[in-house]
Amino acid sequence: MKYAKITGWGNYVPPLLMTNDDMSQIVDTNDEWIFSRSGIRQRHYAHVSTGKMAWLACERALAAAGVSAEDVDLIILGSTSPEEICPNTASYIKNELGAKKAAAFDLNSACTSWFYGVNVATDMIRAGSISKALVVGSERISLAMDWQKRESCFLFGDGAGAVLLEASDERAGLVSSHMSCVPDSRECLHLPSWGMSPLHYTDDIFISLNFEGQEIFKSAVKGMSDSIANVLEREGLTPDDIDLFIPHQANIRIIQALAKRLNFSIDKVVVRIDEYANTSAASIPLALCDALTDGTIKPGMTILTATFGAGLTCGAGIIKWGDRVSPVNISDENIPEFEGTVFDLMADSFTHYGIDAKHLLTKA
């Protein structure tokens, strides 16, 4: 039986920071209020597109694996914020990489998109239809912030994370998974007009996130818990057999609730929401890359992951790590930094929502 071993990993984190103190200049809030409710201290905002961030994360994943782009069979972009609906953004990534023979498609299941993409690529490798796949989660959610909504505008950040999966006889990679969708919970996390229905023929598009926090919390914890129970039972494992837990980084309270249900010590949980906020489809691969960089992931570890997103899509999986935790090579590719402050970057967005951008620029 073939497995889809993770042999490469890479990320891109935009250098511009929007701290909680910065956020307090835009809306009526403060660091203590945000951190106590979410665990977030800051978020990174991108000055380049979803596709550009994804390209660099993929370049770094290929270098880490020591694999040429020309050998890649498939590229899957998991994202809620692709550059266009047609053509797909994955085709842009393919062309930028020079992955000439690769098929390419986007997958959108909101925050679960990267995990669902890993499921799809893993099953294709097991079926023998491909042997190498890049799966990248990339998001520029800062474009969709409604600065009039104090309860949700601070939650999201930008970034990208990617893995390379390769066919292997070694039992490694995503060895068991479960995907689900909580019924009748679709409207509690919703971006109306983030698409083609209704069609808009002017530039006057008002994007505003519908966010029902209590309902999301309840549905997310139950949905992820059910998926976790499914994969643990399928693998004949108990929580004691798990070496590391890498959950979707949406809210520290959700992470803590899951850890409590599993009787996990927080030392076994990778928490990066303080650094990145909720980066949607990029959140798990970003946390995974950090855990490799800082030495948290060890050879042979049994890793549990769980995720949820708008829909409400849910899922969980068991990842068996291989014997290599260091990159084969380091890519020299990079993205030039933005010349200005985060307030310069977001000036048009602030103005759209009636915020005095000039005042903010003066303060910066």
Torsion of CA 82, 110, 58, 176, to 10 degrees: -150
State the CB neighbour count (10 A cutoff) for residue 80: 24
Please name each of the domains of the chain with its CATH number: 3-363 (3.40.47.10)
What is the structure's pLDDT at 109?
87
Provide the token pair at 68.
């040429």
Known catalytic residues are 111, 248, 278
pLDDT at 201: 43
Give, in order, the Cα–Cα distances in Å from 161 to each of 134, 148, 193, 259, 327.
10, 30, 27, 24, 15
- Are the C-beta atoms of residues 23 and 363 closer than 8 Å to each other? no
Task: Convert the pLDDT of each residue in 51-73 to its tens digit.
Answer: 999 999 999 999 999 999 999 99
Query: What is the model's pLDDT at position 215?
Result: 64
Nearest to 80 by CA among 307, 276, 279: 279
**Nearest 5°: CA angle at 322, between 324 and 134?**
85
- Look up the pTM and report it: 0.92
The pairing of beta strand 313-320 with beta strand 173-181? antiparallel
Q: For residue 82, give the 3-state DSSP assignment.
A: coil
> Nearest 5°: phi and psi at 66?
70, 35
Q: Are 10 and 57 in contact (CB under 8 A)?
A: yes
Residues of the chain whose pLDDT is less than 70? 183-215, 357-364
pLDDT score for 43? 97
Q: Which residues contact 217 (CB under 8 A, 6 or more apart)?
A: 251, 253, 254, 257
Q: Which residues contact 201 (CB under 8 A, 6 or more apart)?
A: none
Nearest alpha-carbon partner for 141 in 14, 15, 50: 50
What is the C-alpha to C-alpha distance for residues 109 and 118, in angstroms, rounded to an integer? Answer: 12
Say what the pLDDT of residue 188 is: 44
Q: What gap in Å lies between CA 116 and CA 87, rounded to an integer? A: 21
pLDDT for residue 222:
85
Please state, in angstroms and rounded to a whole number, the distance separating the CA atoms of residues 349 and 147. Answer: 8
